[in-house]
């Protein structure tokens, strides 16, 4: 592997394949796999990831927004794509690009039917979301009665799946609540199947639930984070391989003495002979200011180098006093010696936020 000469996010497709197979091996045979590739496949590269997942045999894709789905269609992705957070303004585009909307309320259901009928669509695939306790999007028991009534009156749409989302599937202390969500979903799904006279795909599990609630697989699961190598649990993390490694390079080394200061606001005051390395990465790339002042650090030639002073927009300085290194040497931000979970924790956050936050300005490099 050639060393990084600028900031690059390396995306390891072998690791992706390993994760896909590991998660799939958890499923009851016949249960379908929906790969969640919203937010640029969690900050990686949605097109490269989608192409690989199609090759691996994913059954479905999910993204959050319409534009994300259009991007995949334009890149030649042909698998069905669920738009998790579809919005009425985009319904015509959803149909134009053969994407499948999540209809989560009477308003979205009615508006989508109206547009599909106007376009003389027949059995256009749609997904129905139930709110079982997340209280974000979805029909509840109380307003459920809208659905079958509306569906029966039209031939323009067809419910291809019904689903719900768990609020705390990674947290064992919330087990009772999670089980109640699963139970609630099961009841709503049973009612729906009875009312529409056929069984659409049913799904509620995200990555953590696939591992923690194996009996709740229904007929499909939705995995995002796990595909990229994380599962909200150290034991499960050990079974997966992180897909992304964020690397950068030493642009310059500064030899400093007592009394010198480093960076904006003179925030770091040098106490004795110190060497710092300047790297081309900053808060505009997703390495937020919270990581500054030694809260987190990077790895240089296998050794830990804490961030000194403030994180700038485009640049970060690290302390390499104890490290044998030179200008042009590679620096690892996360991946390899530094698990992204640990780096994220140093900034008080979670891998979801860290990896989706790496800006598009950082070069993506596909390996394997
Ligand atoms: C993001 C998302 C997922 C994926 O969750 P992971 O924890 O990353 O597996 C599944 N379902 C919905 C509705 C989501 O928004």
The pLDDT of residue 141? 80
Rounded to the nearest integer, the mean pLDDT of the chain is: 96
Q: Is 303 considered catalytic here?
A: no
Say whether both 213 and 327 belong to one domain.
Answer: no
Distance from C-alpha of 297 to C-alpha of 355, rounded to nearest angstrom: 16
* Average pLDDT of the segment spanning 355-362: 97
Closest CA to 86 of 106, 70, 99, 101: 101
Q: How far is the CA of 222 from the centre of ligand 1 (A)?
A: 6
DSSP letters of 133-196?
S--SSSB-TTTTTHHHHHHHT-SSEEEEEEEE--S-TT-GGGHHHHHHHHHHHHHHHHHHHHHH
Give how many domains the chain has, as a whole number. 2
**Does residue 5 lie in a domain region?**
no
How many A from CA of 223 to the centre of ligand 1? 6
For the CA of 42, the closest atom of ligand 1 is 8
Residue 145 has pLDDT above 80, yes or no: no
Q: Is the CB of 84 under 6 A from ligand 1?
A: yes
In the predicted model, what is the mean pLDDT of residues 140-163? 90
- DSSP conformation class of 335: B
Instruction: Give the closest residue (by CA) to ligand 1 atom 6.
Output: 224
* Ligand 1 atom nearest to 38, measured from its CA: 1
In CATH, what number is assigned to the domain containing residue 291?
Answer: 2.40.37.10
Query: Is the domain of 314 the same as that of 345?
Result: yes
Query: Which residue, judged by its Cα, is nearest atom 13 of ligand 1?
Result: 165
Is 282 in the same domain as 217?
no
Domain that holds residue 197: 31-228
Same domain, yes or no, for 107 and 46?
Answer: yes
pLDDT at residue number 157: 97
Q: Is 264 a catalytic residue?
A: yes
- Read off the pLDDT of each residue in 146-173 and give the average, rounded to a whole number: 95
Q: 220-223 and 274-279: which strand pairing? A: unpaired
Supply 81's token pair.
């794509």
Domain identity same for 222 and 341: no
| Proportion of the chain above pLDDT 90, given as a percent | 95
Give yes or no for residue 327 having a pLDDT over 70. Answer: yes
- Say if residue 72's pLDDT is above 80: yes
Q: What span, in angstroms and rounded, lies between the C-alpha atoms of 85 and 41?
A: 16
User: Angle between the 46-56 and 13-24 helix axes, to the nearest 10 degrees?
Assistant: 50
- Kindly report the CATH number assigned to the domain that includes residue 150: 3.20.20.10
Count CA within 13 A, CB hemisphere, residue 331.
31
Q: Per-residue pLDDT for 62 more than 90?
A: yes
Indicate if 38 and 115 belong to the same structural domain.
yes
73 falls within a domain: yes
Q: What is the pLDDT of residues 14-38, one digit of tens each?
A: 999 999 999 999 999 999 999 999 9
Residue 237 lies in a domain: no
Do 200 and 256 lie in one domain? The reply is no
Q: Are residues 283 and 157 located together in one domain of the fold? A: no
Instruction: Write out 186-205 in H/E/C secondary structure.
Output: HHHHHHHHHHHCCCCEEECC
Residue 17 lies in a domain: no
Q: Are 35 and 181 in the same domain?
A: yes
* pLDDT tens digits, one per residue of 190-247: 999 999 999 999 999 999 999 999 999 999 999 999 999 999 899 999 999 999 999 9
Backbone angles phi, psi at 218, to 5 degrees: 45, -130
3-state DSSP call for residue 104? Answer: coil
Q: Which two tokens stand for residue 10?
A: 């390396």
Check pocket membership of 222 for ligand 1, CB cut-off 6 A: yes
Q: Which residues are annotated as a binding site for substrate?
A: 136, 313
Same domain, 101 and 211: yes
Q: Which of 172, 198, 228 is the last residue of a domain?
A: 228
pLDDT at 83: 98
1 has pLDDT over 70: no
Q: Which of 228, 260, 287 is the last residue of a domain?
A: 228
């Amino acid at each position: 592997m050639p060393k990084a000469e600028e900031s690059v996010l390396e995306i390891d497709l072998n690791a992706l394949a390993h994760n896909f197979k590991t998660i799939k091996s958890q499923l009851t045979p016949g249960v379908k796999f929906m790969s969640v590739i919203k937010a640029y496949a969690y900050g990686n590269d949605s097109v490269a990831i989608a192409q690989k997942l199609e090759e691996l045999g994913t059954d479905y894709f999910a993204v959050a927004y319409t534009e994300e789905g259009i991007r995949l269609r334009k890149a030649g992705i042909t698998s069905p794509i669920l738009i998790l957070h579809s919005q009425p303004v985009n319904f015509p585009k959803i149909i134009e690009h053969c994407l499948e909307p999540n209809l989560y309320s009477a308003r979205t259901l009615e508006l989508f039917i109206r547009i599909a009928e106007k376009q003389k669509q027949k059995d256009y695939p749609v997904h129905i979301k139930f709110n079982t306790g997340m209280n974000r999007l979805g029909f509840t028991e109380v307003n459920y009665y809208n659905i079958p009534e509306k569906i029966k009156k039209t031939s323009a749409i067809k419910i291809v799946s019904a689903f719900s989302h768990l609020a705390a599937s990674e947290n064992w202390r919330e087990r009772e609540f999670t089980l109640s969500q699963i139970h609630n979903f099961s009841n709503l799904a049973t009612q729906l199947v009875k009312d529409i006279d056929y069984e659409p795909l049913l799904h509620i599990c995200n990555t953590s639930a696939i591992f923690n609630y194996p009996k709740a697989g229904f007929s499909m699961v939705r995995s995002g984070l796990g595909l990229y190598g994380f599962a909200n649990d150290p034991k499960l993390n050990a079974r997966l391989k992180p897909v992304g490694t964020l690397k950068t390079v030493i642009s310059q080394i500064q030899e400093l003495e007592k009394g010198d200061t480093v960076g904006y606001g003179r925030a770091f005051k040098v106490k004795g002979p110190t060497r710092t390395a300047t790297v081309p990465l900053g808060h505009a790339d997703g390495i937020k200011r919270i990581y500054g002042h030694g809260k987190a650090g990077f790895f240089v030639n296998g050794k830990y180098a804490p961030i000194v002073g403030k994180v700038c927009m485009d640049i970060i300085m690290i302390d390499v006093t104890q490290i044998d290194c030179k200008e042009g040497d590679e620096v690892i931000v996360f991946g390899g010696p530094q698990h992204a979970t640990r780096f994220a924790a140093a900034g008080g956050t979670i891998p979801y936020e860290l990896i989706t936050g790496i800006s598009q300005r950082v070069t993506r490099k596909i390996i394997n």
